[in-house]
Amino acid sequence: MQEQKTVLITGGNDGIGKATAAELSRSGMQVILACRNEEKARLTAREIQEQAGNGQVAVLPCDLGNMESIRGAARQFKEQYGRLDVLINNAGVFTSQLEHTREGFELQFGVNHLGHFLLTHLLLERLQQAPGPRVINVSSIAYLQGQVDFDNLRGEKGAARYNGLKAYAQSKLANVLFTRELARRYPQLGAYALHPGPVRTRIGNKHSTWYTSLGWQLLKVFMTSAEKGAKTSVYLATTPGLESARGQFFDDKQRQRSLSATAKDEALARKLWEVSEDMVGNRK
């Protein structure tokens, strides 16, 4: 009998993450929802258990904007579980105005990249214990517009010069560069990045000005469902034979896409990795 696989999904209580968790639970995996809002996550876990008929859905409190919380989540995982087969770094935030994480990093870079960077590092040992482990980073084709401004990762240039879309693109480029460097440094890991497509989530409503939120709300009519948005994450988590695609980027049709020159910049990926290690206090 095949041993049950364990998957941890950040932001698994809503949107794409919830749809991904539900589908993977239906496939028979043990699903762990790593979420900031523990109460909402527990309601989601019960809902998935009832719908999927799989009792193996658990909650792990984890605030990606708080490194102490991330370290606590990693400790709790290690205390309660064995190996980790799949880590899906799904959670994301968009803000139209300058905000910061607990440690003072620009919110989008801090949550979308640094939080997942630290969590992945803290769980590497458990991933390496699994046969064919995978790390799946939910990025976006918005990365194509991104540049990493190493002099402004804490919002040093000020709120007046803050551009939310530019900061989002930067964080999504960081996801891709992290995926590339993770695959290079740990070739035994199946590290993949993906674009889920334009999905009707609340990401554009939570930390936005009223007019940005309204614009996002109006655009939702042209967007796809969270269930469709989850398909590529599910594909990368479950499909065998993807070894040759490690470090690559997939789109919402489960197709491997060619990367931009910036995303393939190995020196940039190494620099981001090293700077990120310093920022999260995980330099070896």
Q: How far apart are the first and last CA of the chain?
A: 39
Has 192 been annotated as catalytic? no
- Please report which residue ranges of the chain form alpha helices under DSSP H: 15-26, 38-52, 67-80, 107-108, 116-122, 124-128, 164-185, 203-206, 210-219, 226-229, 231-238, 266-280
| 113, 89, 181, 132 alpha-carbon torsion, rounded to 10° | 170
CA distance 170 to 52: 36
Q: CB within 8 A of 34, min separation 6: which ones? A: 8, 9, 10, 11, 12, 60, 61, 62, 73, 91, 119
Contact 137, 89 (CB under 8 A): yes
List C-alpha distances in Å: 179 to 96, 168, 173: 26, 17, 10
Torsion, Cα 273 96 229 142, to 10 degrees, reads: -50
Residue 1, judged by CB atoms within 10 A of its CB (0-12, 13-18, 19+), counts as exposed
User: Which of 81, 143, 168, 211 is flagged as catalytic?
Assistant: 168
Q: Which residues are catalytic?
A: 168
